[in-house]
Structure 1
């Protein structure tokens, strides 16, 4: 299926995704999520936010690990100050999102917060105004759509998100649809930088509005960091050009978010 006909409200792949993540006839994912929600938090929500921000930043090349970030006193953060600031800004963006509804305007504001040390001031919290290609090593891995199409595509995306948020989704559908949001968001690549961080923030933001605040402690960023080679391969296999993406190959990517609930389950 070409991206031009793919919307995040589309359930074309839902049955195949559900079979791959827990069974077609019984709702394994719902049982697993309920078990996850009922599990006793092992730390404060501040810790979970710090963990999310550290791992999301590490995926993008930040060298600081969780222990070093948490245990470093502010006066000792002059070394690698930019990397500390990137994480602190992302923590602030998560904190902002926890208090707001998931809307296009609020996403732009959240991006303005998380990108303070990633982009120049004129590019923070605004859609990109130039062409964008994703580099992998010494080669171009993906060509995003023209910058002139970004606003239209993002408005379409958030129109669909608003439609999905009119009613509370059950866990299976919440996980399925937000994984599609993540995928389509990174394919649009709407910002000059901070797209991966923004997509991972959107996951928890969406889940929390459907499934409650426990969603904020889902270790999805840590899971992606640990399985980052698979994460990028699952993106890469869909294609190198926005207008030639093959969403029939999306199931492995859509499986990664529910897989973050391990050790509550083991997915195939």
Structure 2
């Protein structure tokens, strides 16, 4: 087994400037389009979309590593810290609060990066986490770490982190690179930083999540923008196999320090993330128009709340009378009346099932009619 840090020139990474420049030019074109679209947002909508993007970033970053967290808890924590008004807050969650603090420090705090700050992120990542935790929280590891593929007898070691005795020195070099005025393209620099950090692998656990937080920091500081309306981790999650294959191919060899493919892959992810953000924005505009068209004298607060969830896409599965009653804390009779009224108004359509399986969906034609 070989590792990239065995290369005598490590960590003096190189890349094909022409190839990277072409990819980056494509990104700048998409960025310009996205900036124009989101330039029309008012401050409240921009802050809400920032909160949504951060929440999606947190949830996706955890899922990349095979962990899960309730989106509602994260979103509620983010909104609380950003002072974004929520119609209904989710149940308080200490872990969500800690993860939210980490994400906001990475994207909204553009002060100089330090090793102490990175260790603080590690503490936020694990201090409030239930279950198994690293032995050393908020500290660099003091023992070897191995990345394996597969389980049991079929497992295979595919990478060994930098020897523990070298971590402090190498992390100092990485932090200096982050803070220095060197690579002027934030996305290029963030890609280098994230891979460099992963190759050092300074912690027992949590390296992937912190590498993406460092990437967010470099991008935010490089562009001077703390309000983000897109999530790169959600796209990395979608292409997780390609992400790990590329990471393993680069880190698991000692012949080359060429990061061209890694950098262009990350730039392409950023382009897709911005394109997806525009689609989310268009959906949000339609949702806003839809809700404004509802007459408060015709529909009650329960109906407003449920229609919003159905149109927003946050309600999963089929709507039933029991779900309506539980979510709105009302009687089954009141839930039935609410649903029947929405059926009469053409806002809901039956699922086609009968008996106990009877359910309803938002009428697709409703959103199609919204300008």
TM range (shorter): 0.7 to 0.9
Query: What 5-or-longer segments of structure 2 have no aligned partner?
Result: 39-45, 77-88, 277-371
Q: TM-score, normalised by structure 1?
A: 0.78
Residues paired across the two proteins, number: 243
Given the alignment of the two structures, is residue 47 of structure 1 paired with residue 52 of structure 2, yes or no? yes
Distance in 2, Cα, partners of 1:215 & 1:7:
32
One of 139, 145, 170 as aligned partner of 1:126:
139
Residue in 1 aligned with 2:213? 201
Higher mean C-alpha deviation, range 251-260 or range 137-146: 251-260
| 8 Å Cα contact 2:147-2:158 kept in structure 1 | yes
3-state DSSP of counterpart to 1:178 = helix
| Structure 1 residue 7 displacement after superposition | 4.0
**2:98 is the counterpart of 1:94:** no
Structure-2 residue corresponding to 1:262: 272
Q: Confirm or deny that 1:135 pairs with 2:133.
A: no
Cα shift at 1:96: 2.5
Structure 1 residue 219 and structure 2 residue 217: aligned? no
| Segment of structure 1 superposing worse, 206-215 or 47-56 | 206-215
Aligned to 1:251: 260
Alignment-derived partner of residue 56 in structure 1: 61
In the TM superposition, 1:173-188 aligns within 5 A as 173-188=185-200
Question: Residues 245 and 46 from structure 1, CA distance in 2 versus in 1: closer, same or farther, beyond 3 angstroms?
Answer: farther
Once structures 1 and 2 are overlaid, which stretch shifts more, 145-154 or 215-224?
Answer: 215-224
Quick one: higher RCO (CA 8 Å, sep 6+), 1 or 2?
1
SS at match of 1:141: strand
Shift of 1:51: 0.9
Task: Pick closer, same or farther for the CA change 1:227–1:152 going to 2, 3 Å.
Answer: same
Structure 1 gap ranges (5+): 76-83
Say which of 36, 39, 52 aligns to 1:38.
36
Aligned counterparts of 1:239 and 1:99: Cα–Cα separation in 2: 30
Q: CA deviation at 1:11?
A: 5.2
Once the two structures are TM-superposed, the CA of residue 28 in structure 1 deviates from its matched residue by 3.0
Partner SS for 1:89 = helix
1:175–1:207 contact (8 Å) kept in structure 2: yes
The two structures have a TM-score, normalised by structure 2, of: 0.58
Per-residue displacement from partner, 1:29-81 (whole Å, max 9, x unpaired)?
32222333333259432222211110000001114464796599427xxxxxx
Alignment of 1:5-44 (within 5 A): 5-7=9-11, 12-19=15-22, 21=23, 27-40=25-38, 41=46, 43-44=48-49
| Conservation of the 8 A alpha-carbon contact between 1:218 and 1:261 | no
- Alpha-carbon deviation of 1:85? 5.7
1:233 to 2:245 alignment: yes
Indicate conservation of the 8 Å contact 1:104/1:158, yes or no. Answer: yes
Deviation at 1:110, TM superposition (A): 1.7
Query: 1: CA distance between counterparts of 2:47 and 2:109?
Result: 22
Cα pair 1:204 1:216 within 8 Å, conserved: no
